[in-house]
């Protein structure tokens, strides 16, 4: 098909939105919608090519996939191999191990499934995954595997059958996306069936061109304006808390489809999209998308702080430079190369060979547990992210999208003390679960059993909907039955209160914490609230801890200003009686900064979840107040196990 410069301009808009969002540019809070622009463009181009081949009865699956390999694989191989090298030198073992697994998924174009399956409250932020962005490539490649077969099979029955097939697939995927997003936003975000409608939106535009259903020049000019507004607006309006994709993805997709359909008939928009800068960016957009994310991940990992403006400028320059070289020396030569009939065989065999190399490297890193020997002894302490699995109660933590009746059982989720007759219910989310290590050290002294009931993302609140976590109301309401059935009279409530309602700290309203507390006390229950822990602006605290531990000039204690959580802590203290609340920030923080490293031990295993050392420190510190609030025998300090497990 004829090359369209306006589509190169749209590619530029898409990649700039994504890159500037990832580089933390102010105002670009919805830049992730750039991926949806790419999806529509890809659907349009692939459908146009396949329909032309189908009309000529010349669809060649081997030829089609050969072109995809030439187009996509060389730069992808280079990105993954370069990321292996960088990860080897700076990633901690847990992150390197996960990187090895993600590389295997990326080369198999199953990244979307991998990141969907491996999402875990205790695995830390996905922002430490250099190959996270390959999820979108996986979605496209899965589309490329299925769609040519749909075109070939349906065209045999006539092009109208193909048109109706596209319409049916589009409608099914779109309805599924809208219907299921409230149940599981991560499923809809990552998995192909819920994303195919975006590529099929491009297919519909291609069909419109095929049937010569196009707007006249005047209508096209106005549609271009509307399309540009719809395309750009989400980039500035959406944010990381938006329920996405679902309805929120419609403006980006519709805007892109309208701009393609308008066929470059608005003079001013056309000039903008054809600017040399836009054309250059559009031509390197694939390489730019591939390289920018590993660059920002590794850079941010090393500096251990938020990006500032000069970081962003530096990263942009580096990204443009590497992307230009990648496009010139990797994409171009392989994509444009032509040859005899043996060339496809060489293309396939070479891609298989490189894939095998990456697969073997990934397995070595994964099964080698991230090559711990690369780092000093401190790494065993700093390698924290799987420590929750050693608690003995990992199976009692109800994961995202799960309901209590799926797997949680009371009898297997009670830490028992010989001879104890009283049971405390520890109720909350992952911020309740991370107290287990500390509670084990005082349990015998308090002479109580402790039942753990913790549900991912579900702060312990009655009669309250938690945004993006529809399972929470049901899971939390079950506590009423739990209390009654097991005659529980004492409860500890702990949660990530600051993020319960997915709003920024100053705007949070935690009155539901007070109402839940009041409900329990009206039932003559003794209640103790563990207040908000500080949320740090550090994605890789283990790496910070290692650098501090191996530095001769590092202090034994290191404080850092929290990113948020201060307002939530103060609000809870104002809402509840002081005797019933323990505030970790009062213990950890002074003058706006909080301990992230204490007595040469790291205090968190990601931005907010406590390490075992911190759990022990906090629980030991609140023990006296806890026993008083719950009416327990006073613990003897001499019997406390201050060393933890």
pLDDT (tens digit per residue) in 606-635? 888 999 999 999 999 999 999 999 998 554
Among 123-132, 139-148, 481-490, the least confident range = 123-132
Work out the average pLDDT over 382-396: 61
542-589 pLDDT, tens digit per residue, is 888 888 877 777 788 889 999 889 999 999 999 999 999 999 999 999
pLDDT value for 486:
93
Rounded to whole angstroms, how far apart are CA atoms 407 and 83? 38
| pLDDT above 60: residue 637 | no
Yes or no: say if 445 and 501 are a contact pair by the CB < 8 Å rule. Answer: no
220-232 pLDDT, tens digit per residue, is 999 999 999 999 9
334/392 same-domain check: no
559/474 same-domain check: yes
263/368 same-domain check: yes
What does pTM read for this prediction? 0.84
pLDDT value for 632:
81
| pLDDT above 90: residue 377 | no
Rounded to whole angstroms, how far apart are CA atoms 338 and 3? 19
311/425 same-domain check: no
- If pLDDT is split at 50, 70 and 90, which confidence band does 644 have? very low
pLDDT value for 630:
94
Helix (H, G, I), strand (E, B) or coil at 461: coil
Strands (E), 182-293: none
477/353 same-domain check: no
**Residue 283 within a domain:** yes
| pLDDT above 80: residue 138 | yes
169/182 same-domain check: yes
| pLDDT above 90: residue 380 | no
**Residue 131 within a domain:** yes
pLDDT value for 390:
60
337/453 same-domain check: no
For residues 537-573, one letter each, b for 16 or more C-beta atoms within 10 angstroms of the residue's C-beta and e for the rest, the string is ebbbbbbbbbebbeeeeeeeebbbebbbbbbbbebbb
Residue ending a domain, among 373, 404, 432, is: 373
Q: What is the mean pLDDT of the chain?
A: 90
160/252 same-domain check: yes
**Residue 329 within a domain:** yes
Rounded to whole angstroms, how far apart are CA atoms 186 and 181? 8
Which of 619, 610, 609, 624 lies closest to 641, judged by CA?
Answer: 619
**Residue 75 within a domain:** yes
| pLDDT above 50: residue 305 | yes
CATH number of 432's domain: 3.40.50.1110
**Residue 498 within a domain:** yes
87/135 same-domain check: yes
| Tokens, residue 10 | 């749209």
**What is the span of the domain harbouring residue 394?**
376-630
| pLDDT above 80: residue 394 | no
pLDDT value for 125:
57
320/449 same-domain check: no
| pLDDT above 50: residue 642 | no
pLDDT value for 391:
58
**Residue 644 within a domain:** no
pLDDT value for 504:
67
């Amino acid at each position: 098909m004829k090359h369209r410069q306006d589509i190169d301009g749209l590619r530029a808009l898409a990649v700039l939105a994504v890159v500037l969002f990832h580089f933390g540019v102010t105002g670009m809070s919805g830049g992730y919608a750039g991926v949806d622009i790419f999806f529509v463009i890809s659907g349009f181009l692939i459908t146009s090519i396949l329909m032309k081949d189908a009309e000529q009865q010349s669809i060649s699956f081997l030829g089609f996939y050969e072109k995809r390999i030439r187009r996509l694989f060389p730069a992808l191989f280079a990105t993954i191999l370069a990321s292996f090298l960088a990860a080897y030198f700076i990633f901690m073992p847990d992150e390197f191990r996960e990187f090895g697994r993600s590389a295997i998924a990326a080369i198999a174009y199953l990244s979307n499934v991998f990141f969907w399956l491996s999402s875990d409250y205790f695995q830390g932020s996905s922002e430490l995954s250099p190959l996270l962005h390959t999820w979108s490539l996986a979605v496209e490649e899965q589309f490329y595997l299925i769609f040519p077969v749909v075109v070939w099979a349906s065209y045999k029955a006539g092009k109208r059958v193909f048109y109706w097939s596209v319409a049916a697939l589009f409608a099914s995927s779109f309805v599924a996306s809208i219907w299921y997003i409230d149940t599981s936003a991560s499923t809809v975000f990552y998995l192909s069936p819920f994303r195919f409608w975006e590529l099929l939106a491009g297919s519909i535009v291609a069909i419109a061109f095929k049937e010569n259903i196009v707007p006249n020049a005047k209508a096209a000019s106005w549609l271009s304006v509307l399309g540009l507004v719809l395309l750009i607006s989400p980039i500035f309006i959406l944010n990381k808390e938006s329920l996405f994709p679902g309805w929120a993805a419609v403006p980006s997709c519709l805007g892109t489809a309208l701009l393609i359909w308008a066929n470059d008939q608005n003079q001013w928009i056309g000039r903008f999209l054809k600017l040399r800068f836009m054309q250059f960016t559009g031509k390197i957009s694939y390489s730019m998308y591939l390289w920018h994310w590993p660059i920002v991940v590794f850079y941010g990992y090393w500096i251990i702080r938020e990006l500032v403006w000069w970081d962003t400028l530096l990263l942009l320059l580096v990204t443009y430079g590497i992307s230009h070289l990648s496009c010139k020396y990797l994409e171009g030569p392989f994509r444009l190369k032509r040859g005899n009939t043996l060339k496809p065989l060489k293309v396939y065999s070479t891609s298989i060979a490189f894939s095998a190399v990456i697969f073997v490297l990934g397995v070595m890193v994964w099964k080698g547990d991230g090559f711990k020997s690369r780092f000093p002894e401190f790494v065993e302490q700093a390698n924290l992210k799987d420590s929750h699995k050693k608690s003995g109660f990992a199976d009692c933590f109800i994961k995202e999208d799960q309901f209590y009746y799926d797997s949680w059982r009371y009898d297997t989720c009670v830490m028992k003390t010989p001879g104890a007759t009283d049971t405390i219910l520890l109720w909350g989310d992952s911020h309740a679960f991370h107290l287990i290590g500390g509670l084990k050290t005082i349990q015998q002294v308090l002479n109580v059993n402790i039942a753990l009931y913790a549900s991912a993302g579900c702060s312990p609140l009655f009669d309250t909907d938690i945004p993006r976590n529809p399972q929470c109301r049901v899971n939390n309401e079950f506590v009423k039955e739990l209390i009654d059935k097991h005659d529980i009279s004492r409860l500890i409530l702990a949660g990530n209160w600051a993020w319960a309602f997915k709003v920024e700290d100053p705007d949070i309203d935690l009155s539901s914490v007070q109402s839940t507390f009041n409900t329990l006390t009206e039932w003559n229950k003794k209640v103790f609230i563990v207040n908000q822990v500080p949320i740090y602006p550090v994605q890789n605290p283990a790496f910070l801890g290692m650098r501090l531990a191996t530095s001769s000039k590092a202090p034994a204690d290191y404080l850092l200003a929290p990113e948020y959580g201060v307002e939530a802590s103060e609000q809870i203290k104002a809402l509840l009686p002081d005797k019933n609340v323990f505030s970790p920030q009062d213990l950890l923080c002074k003058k706006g900064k909080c301990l992230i490293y204490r007595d040469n031990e790291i205090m968190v295993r990601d931005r907010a979840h406590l390490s075992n050392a911190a759990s022990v420190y906090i629980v030991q510190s609140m023990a006296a107040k806890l026993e008083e609030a719950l009416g327990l025998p006073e613990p003897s300090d001499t019997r406390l196990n201050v060393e933890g497990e």
